[in-house]
Structure 1
Amino acid sequence: MTALDWPTDFGRTEPAERTRNNHYGATVRETVDDLETEFDRLNADGWQLATAARHQKQNPKYPYADASPDDPGAVVRWTMNGRRYAVACDAYSRLRDNLRTLYLYVHEKRKMEQRPVKTGESEFANARLPSGEDGTDALVAREPPHEVLDVAPDADAAVVEAAARRLKKRHHPDAGGDESRFKRVVDAEEAMLNE
């Protein structure tokens, strides 16, 4: 196994906080192929996948199919229009789920970027890395609300509230939990209930 090249200022999920995701059925190879397609559609100048798993020598973008590294996180870096970008995910206990989450993020952002809606910035603005090499001011791509709560995207209000209640209890700062994780749960619940 190799060490994961995680961006300097990107926060990490504590191993005990990682959850299993049973919503994705895609394999690692299918997801890497899907990422390749997305970056082709974006006309990206190039992209790289970093994981702690061993990658194939002939196809370095592909981790071995049975990859199960101790660190299941994944990072995708790319260049587009002369700017560098990166997104990372280590919220799940399996590499394939973190990879699929990255693919879905890039896919959804690309689709939003194509809409004729005018906004102040590119949809990828929050994934843009600073121009300097030191990695300062880099932003982490946030999980969609349903993934924070580990519920289906179309879960009804009762399911959302129950999942949020369980997670708020686990992550509440007064009970020794992580305040930033607690806030993400609160924000995710609010976002899903207000859709």
Structure 2
Amino acid sequence: MTGLDWPATLKRTDPAERTRNNRYAASLRDSIDDLETELGRVGVDDWRLSTAAQHQKRNPRYPYANASPTDPGAVVRWTMDGDQYAVACDAYSRLRDNVRTLYLYLREKRKMEQRPVETGESEFANARLPPADEGATQGAVVARQPPHVLLDVAPNAPANVVKAAARQKLKEHHPDRGGDREMFKRVQDAKDAMLSEVDR
């Protein structure tokens, strides 16, 4: 399988703005395996990874090990309880880093879903696609800017730097102080994602 199936309504990252991520140590294969495990934990019915790399014939979810396509973007589409979902990332210059980011995004969503907090909707609601007759790509989400960019720290910043930067941003965006609730949540997610990588 070749050809990136990027949702038509989602903006792409300008290739000149893509960054190299030296923070992720996992290989492309490991990231896909982790992604599969994560999707299994949330109970998906079926899923597929779409990239511009040539995928193996025997294992179509996996690009060849030396995959380095000109377009490093990655899209994960899945079905769960009859609904279709998709998330996409092309913020980094390497395919493996974009796939890793998708895995981390889904892992954080799953963790949030398991917390005993009522939000009125599933944490995965923003990735839900509308019914096919309304257009299959309208509801997909793009994995947002990398956590280190959002927190304004180095990609491999130590835990104490990440926590300090997050504390400042959380204070700045706290909803009780007139801040944006969505941005507040994004900062929390970015902090959790960076700290989980430090712990690996």
Mapped pair 1:57 → 2:57: yes
Consecutive unaligned residues in structure 2, runs of 5 or more = 167-182, 192-200
Other structure's SS at 1:86 match? strand
Does structure 2 conserve the Cα–Cα contact (< 8 Å) formed by 1:53 and 1:63? yes
Secondary structure, aligned partner of 2:97: helix
Alignment check: 8 A CA contact 1:126 1:140 kept: no
- Name the amino acid aligned to 1:19: T
What number of residue pairs does the alignment pair up? 168
The residue that corresponds to 1:76 in the other structure is: 76
With the length of structure 2 as denominator, give the TM-score of the two structures: 0.74
Choose from 139, 142, 145 the match for 1:140: 142
**Cα distance in structure 1, aligned partners of 2:21 and 2:7:** 24
**More displaced stretch, 86-95 vs 134-143:** 134-143
Contact 2:87/2:140 (<8 A) preserved: no
1:64 is paired with a residue of what secondary structure?
coil
SS of the equivalent of 2:79 reads strand
Q: How does 1:1-195 map to 2 (within 5 A)?
A: 2-133=2-133, 134=135, 135-143=137-145, 145-148=147-150, 149=152, 151=155, 152=157, 154=159, 156=161, 191=187
> Does the 8 Å CA contact 1:126/1:141 hold for their aligned counterparts?
no
**Which residue type is aligned with residue 64 of structure 1?**
Y
Cα 1:39–1:138 change in 2 (3 A) is closer
Distance 1:155 1:71, change over 3 A: farther
C-alpha root-mean-square deviation of aligned residues, in Å?
Answer: 2.8
Partners of 2:27 and 2:90 in 1: CA distance? 17
2:88–2:141 contact (8 Å) kept in structure 1: no
**Percent identity over the alignment?**
64
> CA distance change for structure 1 residues 130 and 154 in 2, over 3 Å: closer, same or farther?
farther
C-alpha contact (below 8 Å) 1:89/1:102 kept by paired residues: yes
SS of corresponding position for 2:141: coil
Query: What is the match of residue 183 of structure 1?
Result: none
Gapped regions of structure 1 (runs ≥ 5): 162-186
Given residue 144 of structure 2, which amino acid in structure 1 is its aligned partner? R
